[in-house]
Amino acid sequence: GAVVSQHPSRVICKSGTSVKIECRSLDFQATTMFWYRQFPKQSLMLMATSNEGSKATYEQGVEKDKFLINHASLTLSTLTVTSAHPEDSSFYICSASSQGGTEAFFGQGTRLTVV
């Protein structure tokens, strides 16, 4: 199957700073990427959908100014958590799909801890 690489796998940052998470499709062109958040012992909640070259579509209740998503190329999308607070601590997972494909492929996830 196709490979999606997410980096970093773990990050600890101070409250008030910003953190960038990268999601790369290694062997296919990802026309669409999705960002999910997973709180401990809970399911994955879709945060936003991004299409290459256009603005991301955010789900209801997700602050677009706090979670900045950039999908500047067909192989890379980034999620920047701005002015992070402890309540932003979570597991963030990206997935990517290609035009005409039948499934989305997931990255390994990023464990963000804000202290």
Partner 1 sequence: AQSVTQLGSHVSVSEGALVLLRCNYSSSVPPYLFWYVQYPNQGLQLLLKYTSAATLVKGINGFEAEFKKSETSFHLTKPSAHMSDAAEYFCAVSDSSYKLIFGSGTRLLVRP
Q: Which residues form the interface with partner 1 (CB under 8 A)?
A: 1, 6, 32, 34, 42-46, 49, 91, 93, 95, 97, 101-109, 111
Between 32 and 89, name the residue whose CB sits nearer to partner 1: 32
In the complex, least distance from residue 3 CB atom to partner 1, rounded to whole angstroms: 11
Question: Computed over its alpha carbons, how large is the radius of gyration of the chain?
Answer: 13
Among the listed residues 75, 79, 78, the one whose alpha carbon sits nearest the alpha carbon of residue 31: 75
Between 2 and 82, name the residue whose CB sits nearer to partner 1: 2
Return contacts of 65-73, CB within 8 angstroms, 24+ apart. Answer: 67/35, 69/35, 71/33
Between 34 and 67, name the residue whose CB sits nearer to partner 1: 34
In the complex, least distance from residue 87 CB atom to partner 1, rounded to whole angstroms: 20
In the complex, least distance from residue 73 CB atom to partner 1, rounded to whole angstroms: 19
Among the listed residues 28, 31, 42, the one whose alpha carbon sits nearest the alpha carbon of residue 93: 42
